């Protein structure tokens, strides 16, 4: 680590740079009991420096430091810094932000978590190994080691921002500037605003769910000691119960995922019970978090899903079962306006495949789930699973398991396969589209295998082609395009709410649905704007439609 330019200084020089029109790279803050350290690097002077100040000063100046008004701010993981310091973002100018974590995610959305750390990105894009900080601290001592580390971080961030901007395509740069950066501000505002919950009813539902969990666990394990949340223990237990899994590799990893359970659920009632237990446990996670509260503040993320979907955690409000969504309540004097895209992924599939029958179905305003139910002779809920199963690239075993869970009774693989064959027989261009696109992807050199959505969003497939990779490939384009629809709608909707000085705000999104909390007097206007922004978010060969509840 080159520390020739590393100096320790007070906060004033950094504030002077931030108030100018310079380009400055800045590290996340590091706090000790009494002091805070913030590294910064000025591209103009090529100096890497660390500002040291009392902890209280860093918190007081947090908005000035991490909300650019005039200078261009290069930073790594800015939204996480906002979350940690709990500062607002309403007046931030996104055009002045270069977030290396967000830029790197667009270049490789499967590099989430460890793949998006500063050390990993510096190795990949700068060819520079990140030094061992523990050795630095031992050799240099406090506070010199802290100052040197953070100053060096800032210099790396500055260099990384330049490199990432260079390797991004024009489409990715446009996505970053026009969608992802404005969305980052919206998601952080959603965290701060939160969503109302009936904490008292959450307490009652928690007691009920806990009793059900215990009873269901006893029914499944029959007195054996098994942690049903553990993939390893569930695998061993199910093997002892005579369950045989479809994927051979499970027997080497000895871990069982939700997907692996769903593939054999149609064959084994005990597996269906385990899946039921896990669904209930997911609800328990939310109920434990929300019990006794009046409002929860989920952290909304945009850099974890390979298909670029938005996700929520602490609590995971998107996975709360439909039966418990009544626990979400609007603020006094407000109403939830809930709008969800009608069959978004099927419409996207019609657009991509150009299948005449599927396109004409949507253009005629007919319901695809009802149509599928009629010509397969099944109920609409099962038909819905067939249609979505095609979008998700499910095998016959996976589809059989999914229909079995909906019907609460077993459906065999042969029946599921006839449903899949019938779908492709009715919509042959859908099958041809997937087969042609998959063949084209496999024919590329492994390092060049990549899909590109109409928006320019990419996903890489640099591993050996197999059934699991093909399934990932099949879900990618429909889910990426659905995510782009939602993100575009959120950015446009938030912008027009603010332009009109409305009090309505986006408080929740669940994959293809937006929840807006609006005052009574703004409900009709909010509904009108939601429909307009969502149905015009993209131009497809079929109309986009929105349902309200």
Residue 72, in any domain of the structure? yes
Quick one: 131 and 223 in the same domain? Answer: no
Structure tokens that stand for 381 in this block: 């809920």
Quick one: 161 and 241 in the same domain? Answer: no
Structure tokens that stand for 234 in this block: 């569930």
Residue 139, in any domain of the structure? yes
Quick one: 250 and 101 in the same domain? Answer: no
Residue 84, in any domain of the structure? yes
Quick one: 118 and 238 in the same domain? Answer: no
The domain in which residue 124 lies consists of: 8-168
Quick one: 235 and 103 in the same domain? Answer: no
Q: What is the CATH number of the domain that holds 139?
A: 3.30.420.10
Give me the mean pLDDT over the 335-351 stretch: 95
Looking at 235, 261, 293, the residue that finishes a domain is: 293
Looking at 293, 314, 332, the residue that finishes a domain is: 293
Residue 138, in any domain of the structure? yes
Give pLDDT, residue 529: 98
Q: For helices 356-363 and 428-443, give the axis angle rounded to 10 degrees.
A: 130
Quick one: 26 and 157 in the same domain? Answer: yes
Count, in order, helices (H) and strands (E) of the chain. 24, 17
Quick one: 208 and 246 in the same domain? Answer: yes
pLDDT at 137 over 70: no
Per-residue pLDDT of 507-548, as tens digits, reads: 999 989 999 999 999 999 999 999 999 999 999 999 999 999
pLDDT at 46 over 80: no
* CB-based contact 430:355 (threshold 8 Å): yes
Give pLDDT, residue 470: 87
Is the backbone peptide bond immediately before 143 cis, with ω within 30 degrees of 0? yes
Per-residue pLDDT of 317-335, as tens digits, reads: 999 999 999 999 999 999 9
SS3 of 65-95: HHCCCCCEEEECCHHHHHHHHCCCCCCCCHH
Quick one: 153 and 287 in the same domain? Answer: no
Reported as type and span, the H/E element at residue 476 is helix 467-499
**Cβ-based neighbours of 26, under 8 Å, separated by 6 or more:** 14, 38, 39, 40, 41, 65, 66, 73, 74, 75, 154, 157
Residue 413, in any domain of the structure? no
Residue 377, in any domain of the structure? no
Residue 273, in any domain of the structure? yes
Q: What count of residues does the chain have?
A: 549
Give me the mean pLDDT over the 278-305 stretch: 95
Quick one: 234 and 162 in the same domain? Answer: no
Per the structure, the count of domains in the chain is 2
Per-residue pLDDT of 345-401, as tens digits, reads: 999 999 999 999 999 999 999 999 999 988 888 888 888 888 888 777 778 877 887
Residue 310, in any domain of the structure? no
pLDDT, mean over the chain: 90
Q: What is the CATH number of the domain that holds 267?
A: 1.20.1060.10
pLDDT band at 471; cut points 50, 70, 90? confident
Distance CA 88, CA 508 (A): 18
Give pLDDT, residue 3: 46
Quick one: 213 and 145 in the same domain? Answer: no
Looking at 293, 319, 353, the residue that finishes a domain is: 293
Ramachandran assignment for 381, one of left (phi > 0), alpha (psi -120 to 50 degrees), beta (any other): alpha
- Nearest to 537, CA basis, from 454, 462, 429, 447: 454
Share of the chain above pLDDT 70, in %: 96
In sign, the C-alpha dihedral spanning 13, 73, 54, 57 is: positive
Quick one: 213 and 75 in the same domain? Answer: no
Structure tokens that stand for 282 in this block: 């997911």
In sign, the C-alpha dihedral spanning 317, 323, 328, 330 is: positive
Q: Choose the weakest-confidence range: 40-49, 71-80, 105-114, 295-304.
A: 40-49
Quick one: 141 and 235 in the same domain? Answer: no
Distance CA 348, CA 453 (A): 11
């Amino acid at each position: 680590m080159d520390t020739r330019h590393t100096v320790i200084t007070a906060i004033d020089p950094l504030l002077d740079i931030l108030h100018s029109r310079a380009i400055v790279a800045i590290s996340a803050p590091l706090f000790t009991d009494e002091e805070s350290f913030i590294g910064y690097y000025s591209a103009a002077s090529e100096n890497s420096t660390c500002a040291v100040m009392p902890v209280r000063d860093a918190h007081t100046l947090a908005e000035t430091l991490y909300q650019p008004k005039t200078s261009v701010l290069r930073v790594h993981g800015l939204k996480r810094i906002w979350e940690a310091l709990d500062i607002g973002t309403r007046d931030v100018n996104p055009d002045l932000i270069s977030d290396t974590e967000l830029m790197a995610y667009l270049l490789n959305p499967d590099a989430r978590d460890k793949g998006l750390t500063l050390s990993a990105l510096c190795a990949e894009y700068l060819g520079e190994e990140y030094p061992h900080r523990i050795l630095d601290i031992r050799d240099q001592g406090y506070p010199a080691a802290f100052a040197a580390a953070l100053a060096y971080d800032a210099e790396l961030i500055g260099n990384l921002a330049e490199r990432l901007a260079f390797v991004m395509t024009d489409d990715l740069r446009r996505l970053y500037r026009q969608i992802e950066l404005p969305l980052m501000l919206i998601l952080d505002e959603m965290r701060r605003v939160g969503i109302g919950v009936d904490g008292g009813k959450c307490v009652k539902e928690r007691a009920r769910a806990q009793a059900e969990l215990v009873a269901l666990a006893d029914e499944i394990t029959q007195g054996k000691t098994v942690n049903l949340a553990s993939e390893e223990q569930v695998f061993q237990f199910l093997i002892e119960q005579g369950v045989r899994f479809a994927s051979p590799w499970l027997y080497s990893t000895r871990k069982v995922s939700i997907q692996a359970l769903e593939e054999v659920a149609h064959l084994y009632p005990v597996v269906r019970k385990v899946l039921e237990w896990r669904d209930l446990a997911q609800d328990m996670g939310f109920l434990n978090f929300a019990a006794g509260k009046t409002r929860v503040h989920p952290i909304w993320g945009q850099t974890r899903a390979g298909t670029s979907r938005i996700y929520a955690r602490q609590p995971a409000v998107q996975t709360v079962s439909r039966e418990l969504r009544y626990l979400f309540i609007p603020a006094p004097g407000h109403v939830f306006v809930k709008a969800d895209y009608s069959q978004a992924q099927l419409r996207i599939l019609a657009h991509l495949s150009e299948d005449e029958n599927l396109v004409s179905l949507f253009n005629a305003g007919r319901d695809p789930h009802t149509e599928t139910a009629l010509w397969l002779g099944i109920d609409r809920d099962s038909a819905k699973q067939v249609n979505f199963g095609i979008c998700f690239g499910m095998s016959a075993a996976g589809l059989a398991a999914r229909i079995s869970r909906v019907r609460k009774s077993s459906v065999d693989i042969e029946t599921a396969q006839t449903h899949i064959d019938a779908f492709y027989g009715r919509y042959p261009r859908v099958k041809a589209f997937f087969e042609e696109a998959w063949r084209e992807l496999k024919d590329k050199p492994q390092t060049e295998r990549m899909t590109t959505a109409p928006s320019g969003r990419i996903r890489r497939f640099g591993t050996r082609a197999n059934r699991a990779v093909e399934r990932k490939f099949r879900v990618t384009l429909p889910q990426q395009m659905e995510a782009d629809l939602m993100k575009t709608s959120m950015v446009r909707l938030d912008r027009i709410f603010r332009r009109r000085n409305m009090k309505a705000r986006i408080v929740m999104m669940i994959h293809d649905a937006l929840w807006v909390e609006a005052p009574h007097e703004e409900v009709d206007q909010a509904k009108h704007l939601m429909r307009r922004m969502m149905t015009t978010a993209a131009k497809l060969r079929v109309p986009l439609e929105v349902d309200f509840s």
